[in-house]
């Protein structure tokens, strides 16, 4: 059965106070549930798990904490009585539902942001957690009020925040920051921390200029030939970058994360079977001669120790999830830096990144008259609209030729 502990979190806020939280334990795992309150360390009675009477609002806070503690344990007991397997997330969901029904929930925007980050970390979604944390930090660079509440965020507030971001951020980043805040507000409403009538995004929408797509970069067939001409013998440091980019292209635009964790048991003869990490979709793609040649190169690759992975990204066994994520992120930065070097050396006037292989693969199919429906299926997209966002527009001479054929 799960157990709970009321405690101070050891992450002080800007004013030096420590958040009061519940820590829920189940098996060998635990999860933090934030409360709306924080106190100075000397205002907390660690033995009796309550705020000391010297605090001006001790009685009010302690009564609310007692109610929250009761409801949290009621949620656990109810899950136990259902005689079904449950996890920490089930406890949280049950607790939030009960609390919403009793209308006692209150929290700051920052604490709710942090709760979201902690939840994503626990789910090992470290990249998304980092992005949400960056959005949280951006909001509180704009607004220094650590006790900001969702009801304080209205249309005027959002406009001012957008203008603040515009001083230092490009359109894509602004869109991410505003979208993350909108998502958080929706989660707060569903969890009972915010009221539907306070939702500011009914009147405010992310401006059209924020929805502008970044320029789609795909190598032309000529540029792709230039990339392939790179001399790894002259620059051996960039061999892995060169071969992994080509492998990505030849197997349908596999993203770097999937390559980083690709295992040898995914190779079945002349076919590749893998599950895309981003969507969970299974792929079964043919391995062209170029891809097989690259795989053959890595079969004899010298490593510090034998691992199950094909490419030299994860070089050690026994790494925990956070270490694996950190290693993948560091290697991605190195990979993108290497691509820029290769582009410079081969005369490609484009800012090549890991995703260019995916855009190039899709665009080359398009230029070879493969329909968007087929490309969509090959790439595992949820719709043709998603596929079209990958495709580079036809060059002017192709457009001109099409116009010349009009009657």
Domains and CATH numbers, the chain: 1-104 (no CATH), 107-212 (1.10.150), 221-400 (1.10.443.10)
Cα(308)–Cα(311) distance, integer angstroms: 9
Long-range own/partner contacts, residues 60-64 (CB < 8 A, 24 or more apart): 61/20, 61/37, 64/35, 64/36, 64/37, 64/104
> Which tokens is 37 given?
């309150």
pTM equals 0.53
- Polymer length of the chain: 407
Cα(307)–Cα(260) distance, integer angstroms: 12
User: Given the structure tokens 């081969």, which residue do they identify?
Assistant: 346
Sign of the torsion angle spanned by Cα atoms 69, 74, 79, 80: positive
Q: Could you tell me if 148 and 109 are in contact, meaning their C-beta atoms sit under 8 angstroms apart?
A: yes
> Which tokens is 404 given?
């010349």
Q: 10 Å Cβ neighbour count for 359? A: 20
pLDDT of residue 125: 84
Alpha helices per DSSP H over 148-255: 155-166, 171-191, 221-228, 239-250
| Residue 328 CB partners (closer than 8 Å, separation 6+) | 256, 257, 260, 261, 313, 314
Q: 10 Å Cβ neighbour count for 352? A: 23
Distances (CA, A) of 165 to 39, 169, 215, 403: 32, 6, 21, 42
Cα(16)–Cα(79) distance, integer angstroms: 37
Cα(333)–Cα(166) distance, integer angstroms: 26
Q: 10 Å Cβ neighbour count for 1? A: 8
Question: Which residues pair with residue 259 across a beta bridge?
Answer: none
* CA 271 to centroid of chain Cα atoms: 29
- Report which DSSP code applies to 201: G
Q: Could you tell me if 398 and 369 are in contact, meaning their C-beta atoms sit under 8 angstroms apart?
A: no
- pLDDT tens for each residue of the chain, 407 residues long: 789 999 999 888 888 899 999 999 988 899 998 888 999 999 999 999 999 999 988 988 998 898 888 888 888 888 887 766 788 888 888 887 766 555 445 688 999 999 889 888 888 888 888 999 999 999 999 999 888 999 899 999 999 999 999 888 888 888 899 999 999 999 888 887 888 888 999 888 776 545 554 556 788 889 999 999 999 999 999 999 999 999 999 988 898 999 999 999 999 999 999 988 877 888 888 898 999 999 999 998 888 888 899 999 998 888 888 888 889 999 999 999 999 999 999 999 888 988 898 888 888 877 777 766 666 666 655 454 544 554 444 444 443 443 343 33
Cα(6)–Cα(21) distance, integer angstroms: 6
Residue 362 φ/ψ, nearest 5 degrees:
-65, -45
Q: Could you tell me if 125 and 328 are in contact, meaning their C-beta atoms sit under 8 angstroms apart?
A: no
Cα(84)–Cα(98) distance, integer angstroms: 19
List the one residue out of 126, 125, 128, 159 whose CA is nearest residue 142. 159
> Which tokens is 261 given?
């964790």
Radius of gyration of the chain (CA): 26
């Amino acid at each position: 059965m799960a157990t709970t502990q009321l405690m101070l979190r050891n992450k002080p806020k800007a004013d030096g106070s420590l958040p009061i939280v519940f820590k829920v334990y189940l098996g060998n795992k635990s999860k933090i549930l934030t409360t709306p309150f924080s106190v100075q360390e000397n205002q907390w009675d660690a033995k009796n798990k309550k705020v000391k009477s010297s605090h001006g609002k001790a009685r009010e806070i302690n009564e609310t904490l007692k109610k929250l503690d009761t409801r949290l344990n009621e949620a656990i007991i109810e899950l136990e009585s259902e005689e079904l397997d449950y996890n920490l997330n089930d406890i949280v969901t049950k607790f939030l539902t009960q609390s919403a029904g009793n209308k006692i929930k209150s929290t700051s925007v920052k604490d709710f942001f942090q709760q979201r980050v902690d939840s994503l970390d626990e789910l090992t979604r470290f990249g998304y957690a980092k992005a949400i944390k960056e959005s949280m930090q951006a909001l509180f660079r704009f607004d220094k009020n650590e006790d900001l509440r969702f009801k304080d965020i209205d249309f005027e507030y959002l406009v001012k925040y957008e203008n603040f971001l515009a001083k230092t951020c490009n359109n894509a980043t602004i869109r991410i920051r505003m979208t993350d805040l909108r998502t958080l507000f929706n989660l707060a409403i569903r969890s009972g921390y915010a009221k539907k009538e306070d939702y500011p995004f009914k009147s405010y929408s992310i401006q059209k200029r924020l929805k502008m797509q970044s320029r789609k970069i795909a190598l032309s067939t000529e540029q792709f030939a230039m990339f392939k001409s790179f001399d790894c013998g002259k620059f051996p440091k960039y061999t892995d970058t060169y071969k992994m980019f080509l492998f990505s292209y030849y197997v349908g635009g596999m993203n770097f994360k999937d390559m980083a964790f690709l295992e040898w048991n995914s190779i079945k003869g002349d076919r590749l079977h893998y599950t895309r990490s981003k969507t969970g979709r299974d792929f079964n793609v043919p391995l062209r001669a170029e891809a097989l040649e690259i795989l053959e190169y890595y079969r004899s690759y010298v490593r510090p120790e034998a691992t199950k992975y094909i490419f030299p990204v994860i070089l050690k066994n026994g790494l925990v999830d956070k270490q694996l994520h950190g290693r993948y992120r560091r290697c991605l930065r190195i990979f993108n830096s290497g691509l820029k070097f290769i582009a410079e050396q081969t005369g490609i006037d484009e800012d090549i990144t890991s995703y260019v292989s995916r855009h190039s693969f899709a665009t080359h199919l398009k230029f070879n008259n493969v329909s968007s429906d087929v490309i969509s299926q090959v790439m595992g997209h949820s719709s043709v609209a998603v596929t079209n966002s990958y495709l580079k527009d036809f060059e002017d001479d192709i457009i001109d030729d099409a116009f010349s054929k009009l009657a």
